[in-house]
Amino acid sequence: MRRAALLVALLLVLRWPAPAAAQIYRWVDESGVPHFADGIDSVPDRYRAKAVPLGMKNAPAAPGAAPGAAKASGETSIRFIPGQRIMVDARINGSAEARLMLDTGADRTLISPRALQAAGVRLTGPSTTAEVTGAMGSGQMQFIVIESLEVGEARVGRMPVGSGVLPPDVGDGLLGRDFLDQFNLNIDSGKGVVTLTPK
């Protein structure tokens, strides 16, 4: 379970076009779980001293790639069972529901083709395809722009998301830092509550 989520996070961070070339860093949290991030500024403060540069950089943005996500709005609280993965109910384009695993180690949001199609997203429309490579192999992943993504009252407008085959234990996908970094994120593990407040 943890290995599958880590693989997806690693695949997304290695090859997704970033706005500018950024050094990839690896850091390990207090539970021993490794994470990967674009640039030292993306590593949480308490882990920066031990973050290790991997000698890899994300490529510059591809021609025609969507601009940065629209401004975030809305505040929300999400309840979860302490000690278990944090699963959130999301709405794609204001309508279709998707169950996503909140992953602060994933740079990009990944949503299953089935959930995107349910939201009316055309998977054959304009998109960026990137080769992704990780510990368990490599393959192509499609990146498609959606009009909005909402978790409770927290909303981010137009943003690119990855679409590809997912491990079965992540629901309909991963809610990554491209969404989460638009908010002040507070995870209260004792009470089992995540709070998102727009920055």
pTM across the whole model: 0.63
Measure the CA–CA gap between 181 and 148, rounded to whole angstroms.
15
Average pLDDT over residues 79-85: 91
pLDDT over 90 (residue 60): no
| Exposure class string for 8-23: b at 16+ Cβ within 10 A, else e | bbbbbbbbbebeeebb
Above pLDDT 70, what percent of the chain? 66
Tokens representing residue 65 in the block: 């790639």
Neighbour-count burial for 156-187, b at 16+ CB within 10 Å, e otherwise: beebbbbbbebeeebbbbbbbbbbbbbbebee
